[in-house]
């Protein structure tokens, strides 16, 4: 898409993402395509391609571009997958995923965020994203199994329903740990076995719900 932010977007991909080792060309292309500035408040648009997270409605945040790219790359999407996202927020992560897989299901617990995200998906004709208001720690049983699951809020453990709803083979990424300080975990399910790897220290807003931090 050509717009006045095309240059900053190209620079974001080159300097913040590719330069830090994200090499999956499909992920880089998606990050070059999705107009991140539309997912933040108009007053913050000039900062939309800068190297840090930004505030969105309800005290939540849209993650730093590099973190979005990194978590997306870990899912190793090839195009035909069904993906579950927990924490729709601004909708930006779901939008990036939607360019890389067949169908995105995204769950958000705050009603104040969903209408705006849906409006942007429609305006961009990203019709392969379905978003609903619910407690994402319960997953989305009716749409399971998922080839990939991404949790964009941090909690003390991976909610068991998400592990149940992960396909075999399947990949799940989530920040796990204490409030305000977690480790990015990658779970891979293959041949009936589940493996968990701890990748890096990260800082996400809290996952709230039955299997996350309590309300
Ligand atoms: N992926 C988002 C990041 C949003 S921040 C983006 O690209 O903008 C994390 C989001 O997780 C917040 O919007 C928060 O409300 C949501 N969240 C926290 N706990 C949740 C839960 N149990 N179910 C669904 N969403 C949850």
pLDDT in tens, 12-32: 999 999 999 999 999 999 999
Q: What amino acid positions are annotated as catalytic residues? A: 63
Q: 153 alpha carbon to ligand 1 midpoint, in Å?
A: 6
Angle (CA) 78 84 88, round 5°? 115
C-alpha closest to that of 129 among 153, 105, 162:
105
Q: What is the pLDDT of residues 114-144, one digit of tens each?
A: 999 999 999 999 999 999 999 999 999 999 9
> How high is the pLDDT of residue 201?
79
Q: Atom of ligand 1 at shortest distance to CA of 208? A: 19
171 touches 187 (CB < 8 A): yes
Position 146 confidence tier, pLDDT thresholds 50, 70, 90: very high
Per-residue pLDDT band for 215 (boundaries 50, 70, 90) equals low
Cβ–ligand 1 contact at 72 (below 6 Å)? no
3-class state of residue 199 by DSSP: strand
How far, in Å, from the CA of 135 to the mean position of ligand 1?
Answer: 10
Question: Domain residues of the chain, as ranges?
Answer: 6-202
**pLDDT score of 200:** 82
Residue 70 confidence (pLDDT) above 80: yes
> Which of 56, 60, 107 to probe ligand 1 with, by most ligand atoms within 8 A of CB?
60
CA of 191 to the centre of ligand 1 (A): 31
CATH architecture of 6-202: 3-Layer(aba) Sandwich (3.40)
Tell me what the mean pLDDT of segment 79-83 comes to: 98
pLDDT above 80 (res 99): yes
Q: Whose CA is nearest to atom 23 of ligand 1?
A: 136
- The secondary structure of 82-146, three-state, reads EEEEECCCCCHHHHHHHCCCCEEEEEECCCCCHHHHHHHHHHCCCCCEEEEECCHHHCCHHHCCE
DSSP-based three-state secondary structure for 14 = helix
Give pLDDT, residue 6: 95
The pLDDT value recorded for residue 115 is 96
- In sequence order, the 6+-apart residues with CB closer than 8 A to the CB of 168 are 145, 189, 190, 191, 192
């Amino acid at each position: 898409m050509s717009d006045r932010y095309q240059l900053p977007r190209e620079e974001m991909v080159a300097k913040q993402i590719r330069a830090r080792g994200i090499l999956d060309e499909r992920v880089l292309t998606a990050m070059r395509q999705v107009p991140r500035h539309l997912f933040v408040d108009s007053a913050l648009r000039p900062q939309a391609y800068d190297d840090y997270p930004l505030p969105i409605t309800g005290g939540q945040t849209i993650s730093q571009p590099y973190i979005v790219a990194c978590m997306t790359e870990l899912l190793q999407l090839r195009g035909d997958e069904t993906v579950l996202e927990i924490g729709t927020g601004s909708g930006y992560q779901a939008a990036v995923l939607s360019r890389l897989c067949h169908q995105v299901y995204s769950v958000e617990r705050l009603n104040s965020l969903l209408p705006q995200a849906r409006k942007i998906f429609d305006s961009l004709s990203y019709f392969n994203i379905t978003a609903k208001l619910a407690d994402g720690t319960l997953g989305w049983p009716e749409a399971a199994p998922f080839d990939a699951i991404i949790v964009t809020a941090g909690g003390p453990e991976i909610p068991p329903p998400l592990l149940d709803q992960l396909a075999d083979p399947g990949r799940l990424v989530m920040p796990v740990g204490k409030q305000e300080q977690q480790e990015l975990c990658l779970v891979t399910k293959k041949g009936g076995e589940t493996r968990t790897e701890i990748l890096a220290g990260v800082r996400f807003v809290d996952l709230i719900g039955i299997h996350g931090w309590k309300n």
